[in-house]
Chain A
């Protein structure tokens, strides 16, 4: 059974960097079969894609976040990570990691983490 688990601080001060890690079990990031994604959901709002990364380190991201965004992958730990710089209150959201899209077939995001609420506040 594939499982993903987000970890990181739940409170970040304005102008600082939000850093989250997603730990994957039941699948290998380095299998190369999928991208690995980040999605966020501000309180009471819809789902917003942040970006996704391949095991090689190649990534694609939301143009509105690209200037502040960093993504990385650690295949030895089967983890991928998100860094969002210069955060403001508008970055307050539940952050999800997910497996997908697929490489051979674009069949959506089959597995999601439980989500982690990150609040930006002083």
Chain B
């Protein structure tokens, strides 16, 4: 089974900061990687799919990059509404989530 290692597990940041979250796959998954934002008590929301394609309606401060085994989610300028937990998901072979990154206010 493909393992997804997400880092960091948590981070503290301020409004306006650039934030980077990484996911590494245990084997190559091409670009079959998506990113989700989850707020407390809510279902996850798709941000990025196919590693770098922004989902409709998602602010352009979110971007994704990478392929095969290394992927990055970047928030270019953190906004108050971005404090949440973020997950990556591979669906190249079955599907597996990363462990999550909680973005907290510094």
Assuming A107-B34, A108-B49, is B99 touching A115 (CB within 8 A)?
A: no
Query: Across the interface, do B43 and A108 meet the contact criterion of CB distance under 8 Å?
Result: no
* Contact code string B26-49 (vs A, CB < 8 Å = 1, else 0): 000000101010100001111001
Contact of B43 (CB < 8 Å), options: A37, A107, A115 = A115
Query: Across the interface, do A113 and B87 meet the contact criterion of CB distance under 8 Å?
Result: no
Query: Across the interface, do A109 and B97 meet the contact criterion of CB distance under 8 Å?
Result: no
Q: Once bound together, how far apart are the Cα atoms of A113 and B43, in whole Å?
A: 7
CB neighbours of A9 from chain B (8 A)? none
Q: Once bound together, how far apart are the Cα atoms of A114 and B43, in whole Å?
A: 6
Interface residues in B, total, Cβ within 8 A: 24
CB neighbours of A55 from chain B (8 A)? none
* Stretch of A11-19, A80-88, A98-106 with 4 or more beta carbons under 8 angstroms from chain B: A98-106
Residues 35-50 of A contacting B (Cβ, < 8 Å): 37, 39, 46-49
Query: Across the interface, do B97 and A47 meet the contact criterion of CB distance under 8 Å?
Result: yes
Query: Across the interface, do A46 and B95 meet the contact criterion of CB distance under 8 Å?
Result: no
Most buried by A among B53, B89, B99: B89
CB neighbours of A114 from chain B (8 A)? 43
Most buried by B among A47, A108, A115: A108
Interface residues in A, total, Cβ within 8 A: 22
The count of A-to-B residue pairs whose CB atoms sit within 8 angstroms is 59
Q: Once bound together, how far apart are the Cα atoms of A101 and B89, in whole Å?
A: 10
Check if A26 is an interface residue, CB within 8 A of chain B: no
Check if A96 is an interface residue, CB within 8 A of chain B: yes
CB-based nearest A residue for B48 = A108
- Give 16 A-B pairs besides A47-B97, A101-B91, A108-B89 with Cβ atoms closer than 8 angstroms: A37-B95, A46-B100, A63-B1, A96-B44, A100-B91, A101-B95, A106-B32, A106-B91, A107-B34, A109-B46, A109-B89, A109-B91, A110-B46, A110-B49, A110-B55, A112-B45
Where the two chains meet, the residues of B that have a C-beta atom closer than 8 Å to any C-beta of A are: 1, 32, 34, 36, 38, 43-46, 49-50, 53, 55, 87, 89, 91-92, 94-100
